[in-house]
Amino acid sequence: MTELLQQAIAQIQQLPPDQQDAIAARFLAQLQDEQKWETRFATTTAPGVGWVNAGNPTSW
């Protein structure tokens, strides 16, 4: 774990439980969203898929 993340968690631990849960829920939702985008991006940039291999990136 990075030092910055450790600092953030230490500060979050000082908050009341309901605020901790709210932050945790947002954090987990953000992670899930990032994973979905990574999956979508990977499938659209795979060899043979989309405009990436068309040789002309302005054609999209």
| 53 has a pLDDT exceeding 60 | no
What's the pTM?
0.62
**Looking at residue 38, what is its pLDDT?**
84
- Residue holding tokens 């405009």? 51
Answer for the pair 14, 7: CB distance below 8 angstroms, yes or no: no
For residue 6, give the 3-state DSSP assignment. Answer: helix
Running DSSP on this structure, what letter comes out for residue 46?
A: S
CA distance 4 to 23: 16
